[in-house]
A and B are shown apart, each in its own frame.
Chain A
Amino acid sequence: MKTLGLSLTLAAGALSAGLAVAPSALAQAPDQADRIIRGRYQAILGDCEACHTAPGAKPLSGGLPLETPFGQLIPPNITPDKASGIGSWTEADFRNALKNGIGHDGKRLYPAMPYPAYTRMSDEDISNLWAYLRTVDPVFNPVEANQLPFPFNIRMSMLGWNMLNFTPGEFRPDPSKSEAWNRGAYIVQGPGHCGTCHSPKTSLGADETSQALEGASLQGWFAPNITGNPYIGIGSWSEEEIVQYLKTGANARTIASGPMAEAIEASTSQMTDEDVKAIATYLKSTTGGPAEKPKPIPADDRRMQMGAAIYHDTCSACHGADGKGARQLFPALAGSAIVQQPSSETLMRLVLQGSQAVHTDGARTTPAMPSLGWKLSDQQVADVLTYIRNSWGNAAPSVGPSDIGAHR
């Protein structure tokens, strides 16, 4: 009775949190409904939709092409459709895919599917996720995932890749750490697969495990350092600030943009408060990246002088002459981690294309930055970025005009 009572409470909690459950799920035995609800939460932790649902398409019926350094991969249809989805898979097939990167018919998956992270998931979580995926509306949508050029299109090559780069195995909790830390580490390393974007990659496209979460470039954005590094990571953020960022997409320091905005909308904002707190606890404990700031470029440098003029004429009305921005509305540039990353890819993109804050229950205003590409030349974008990266105590490498054009 106790178990049943607990599962009903969880189900009610999940429902009241706005998690829609397929009607067929409720008709099944209570423990099955419980599994499905927990499985749906795993799908939120793993943000399956981010890759497997194309904009405007039915959930999980296949996504937009992913541009990898090796070529294009299309996230396949993972609805229970027998012909084009995973309807003919068994739970064992699914577990094998997540834990070992091997699909239904022995096909090797490419690690764009983050099985090197999902392998850390517990059997129970994978089983629940499977139960949920069986309840998704089946959609007929054949997708040829493998669009890679020769020789990368040979799936068996992943056998060698796995030998070099892949360590299968479930997450092992560290008994010397708190329960929250272990929960956070599990989510970050396992279902949340944060390192898929935020960890630098080796030349083979694997996570550089010695530099986990130290920031990496992908799809034209720079996913910043999210270790506890005090100036380019989240080390100076309080746990509350990290929680607020992940729950709402904005805090007093910054506003999410690009793929992280999507991840916040579909995934982290819908996680439980406990899980987001656990992520914050774990991330703050990690280390990585340079411990000391470089020397800032002096203010009398010609690029800095140009950048200052552009900044005060174009940017300061929102971000402030002192770079402090305005809470929740205009991100602070002074002391900002994203502003001081080794790569300025995200910054170039924001200046040229603009950006809009994500809409979450906790932050509904969605302030936006206008696109300035029409009025600033490549040199001017470079100079103003060099200026914000080296003013008000910030310090980061200068930006050159030749890097800008690719983002126009």
Chain B
Amino acid sequence: METHCLKRPTRRQFLSSVAFTILAGSAAPVLARSISGALPWEARSADPPVQVKPGGWLFFTPEEARTMEAVADRLIPADDLSIGGKDAGCVVYLDRQLVGSYGNSSRLYTKGPFMPGLPTQGYQAPDTPAQRYRAGIAALNGFTAGAKGGKRFAELAAEDQDAVLKDLEAGKITLPDKVDARSFFNLMLTNVMEGFFADPVYGGNRDMASWKMLGFPGARYDYRDHVSKHNQPYPLPPVSIAGSMEWTTR
């Protein structure tokens, strides 16, 4: 067993390494600060999200927006459970995300090397989401123009739209300009779902439609009064980060 033991440092080695560490440490810039007494705090301080309001497109062209609204309405069609993806504001949500840090990947590591990864490794190519939507929507409309008699995606009948989306998902379609069909479909699906289920403050999930559908209570954080009430529906309506209709009308 002794052969597996690491060699213990001598006292001299230990002391000199400590001395070196202290020297190296003291030369480094001091980034931490010590706080004593009360924790730092300022009156009126808040970092709230800004309520996204529909109206105008900041990223999409009107044509792109029409295409995406058609996609959103097929991924989440209006039915007796809820309003559709378009009415819920999923594309408004997506539009505002694409002009922000999500759209330009400014908070991600985006340098090479770029190599095909496993599905579990996520997207591995250099293009930002903004670039992928610009190219992807053009490719989708280019495909339908060729395959569906000159029609753009939004102009197709609902069944035809569903068929195109299913083929995209299954990778059965080859989109022009080397756009990966399956990858682009998954991007749209993910973002439309985000828009539908995220807090309304970000532009989608209008009137908390998806939360009402699910019975999700929203941005609440105290359930002590309800923990022991088994098999009873939670009575309070959902609430957004920005508030609730219950606060102003009743």
Contacts and interface: CB of A to CB of B under 8 A. Distances in A.
Interface string A358-375: 110000001010110111
Contact of A371 (B44, B224, B250): B44
Contacts of A359: 37-38
Which of A312, A313, A353 has most B Cβ within 10 Å? Answer: A313
Given A313-B220, A366-B39, A380-B247, 5 more contacts: A317-B222, A354-B43, A357-B38, A371-B43, A373-B44
A321 B44 contact: no
B209 interface: no
B225 interface: yes
Contact of B43 (A321, A355, A374, A383): A355
Given A309-B246, A317-B222, A356 B44 contact: no
B18 interface: no
A359 B36 CA distance: 10
B39 to A, nearest CB: 5
Given A316-B222, A375-B242, A306 B248 contact: yes
A352 interface: yes
15 contacts: A306-B247, A310-B247, A312-B236, A313-B236, A318-B222, A352-B44, A353-B43, A354-B45, A356-B41, A359-B37, A366-B38, A373-B44, A375-B48, A375-B241, A383-B247
Contacts of A302: 250
B171 interface: no
B43 A358 contact: no
Interface in B161-209: none
Contacts of A375: 48, 241-243
Interface residues on B, range: 20 to 34
B46 interface: yes
Contacts of B48: 374-375
Contacts of A312: 236
B221 interface: yes
A374 B247 contact: no
Interface in B220-250: 220-222, 224-225, 236, 239, 241-244, 246-248, 250
A305 interface: yes
A312 B221 CA distance: 10
Interface string A373-402: 111110110010000000000000000000
B41 A368 contact: yes
Interface string A288-319: 00000000000000100110011011001110
Nearest to A318: B222
A379 B248 CA distance: 9
B44 A353 contact: yes
Contacts of B43: 353-355, 371
A321 B223 CA distance: 10
Nearest to A383: B247
